[in-house]
Amino acid sequence: MKPRRSVLAVPGSNPKMIAKAKGLPVDEVFLDLEDAVAPVAKAAARATIVAALNEGGWGEQLRVVRVNDWTTPWTYADVISVVEGAGSRLDAILLPKVTDGGQVRALDLLLTQLEQAHQLEPGRIGIEPQIENAIGLRNIDEIATASPRVQTLVFGPADFMASIRMRTLVVGEQPEGYEPGDAYHHILMTILLAARAHGLQAIDGPYLQIRDLDGFRRAAARSAALGFDGKWVLHPTQVDAANEIFSPRQAEYDKAEEILEAYAFHTSADGGARGAVMLGDEMIDEASAKMAQVVAEQGRAAGMTRTTRFTPPESAAE
Ligand code: GLV
Ligand code: MG
């Protein structure tokens, strides 16, 4: 799967911001028809999005549209408009406020009919369910497995905090009175575990204080440390930080590749066919190699190159 370290949110009603997004080095752009677009502007925004997708000028970014949730009057027309108008240029639909697997299946069925009717490649358009309420979190496994189109599980912290009535107005920061703990840990971990259990990407949502880059970096570093694949960005200033924070550090990447090479060498017949070996001061074994594989894959997907190399010891079979 292509990386989604940085996922840029762009209001679908704003052609200028869409034009700017096309040139930004983000892994995904999602054009919003939901909360960033006023109800009276939704119909016009569909047309703006279709035109922007068809106009070209895009880089390598994944192109996604966030439709309105199934409790509104708009979802079906959002999906039909963008897929009929620009389905071949669309990588996925972001489905907000998902409550259960049925909502994902409903979108899957609609997409399947649209693909058939418009000779689009069957099953190519993905689904990114957004977890934004208590019921969605409780039903996360059925949501994750409701359709083979599901590619990610996306956290929606603002709606989620409102849904559980958490006493905070600052998304991504701890609610006052809960400073010693991390109020987000359970939610982030539940999303991450479901994503890993079902082979999906786990994506953290927005940090709304866009002038506070340190705050963004802190929030992003927390979910990156847990193992999340990426985070939404709302402003160009957050882009480089997200790409950096959700890629391994150079030294970490070098070390991971070195562990893999050292392990491959020492477990081979030429290297002594051993299971647990020393690399410098560290004992490495099959589990260390698995951890290194994760970091190495992230680094390769981010286009990193090595700055060090493993040299087999001269008397390896001793
Ligand atoms: C995003 O949609 C959020 O609710 O945080
Ligand atoms: Mg939301």
Burial of 137 (0-12, 13-18, 19+ CB in 10 A): buried
pLDDT in tens, 121-132: 999 999 999 999
Lowest mean pLDDT among 72-81, 184-193, 246-255: 246-255
- By the 8 A CB rule, do 165 and 192 touch? no
Report residue 63 as tokens: 């192109």
Q: How confident is the model at residue 59 (pLDDT cuts 50, 70, 90)?
A: very high
Q: How confident is the model at residue 113 (pLDDT cuts 50, 70, 90)?
A: very high
pLDDT in tens, 157-191: 999 999 999 988 888 888 988 878 899 999 999 99
Which residue in this structure is represented by tokens 């990386």? 3
Beta bridge partners, 203, equal: 154, 230
- By the 8 A CB rule, do 249 and 256 touch? no
pLDDT for 315? 57
Per-residue pLDDT at 71 exceeds 80: yes
Question: Is 205 near ligand 1, meaning CB less than 6 Å away?
Answer: yes
Question: Is 159 near ligand 1, meaning CB less than 6 Å away?
Answer: yes
Per-residue pLDDT at 318 exceeds 50: no
Question: Is 158 near ligand 1, meaning CB less than 6 Å away?
Answer: yes
State the distance from the centre of ligand 2 to the C-alpha of 196, rounded, in angstroms.
23
When comparing pLDDT for 169 and 94, which is higher?
94
pTM over 0.85: yes
Q: Taking residues 4-20, what's their average pLDDT? A: 97
Q: What percentage of residues in the chain have a pLDDT greater than 70? A: 99
pLDDT for 317? 47
- The chain-wide mean pLDDT, for the chain, equals 94
Give the list of residues 6+ apart from residue 113 with CB closer than 8 angstroms, or none. Answer: none
79: amino acid identity, one letter: V
pLDDT for 87? 98
Q: How confident is the model at residue 279 (pLDDT cuts 50, 70, 90)?
A: confident
pLDDT in tens, 193-250: 999 999 999 999 999 999 999 999 999 999 999 999 999 999 999 999 999 999 988 8
CA angle 39, 103, 10 (to 5 degrees): 40
pLDDT for 310? 85
- Give the mutation target among 132, 154, 191 for probing the ligand 1 site: most ligand atoms within 8 A of CB: 132
Question: Is 172 near ligand 1, meaning CB less than 6 Å away?
Answer: no
What is the secondary structure of 58-111 as a DSSP string? --S-EEEEE---TTSS-HHHHHHHHHHHHGGG--EEEE-S--SHHHHHHHHHHH
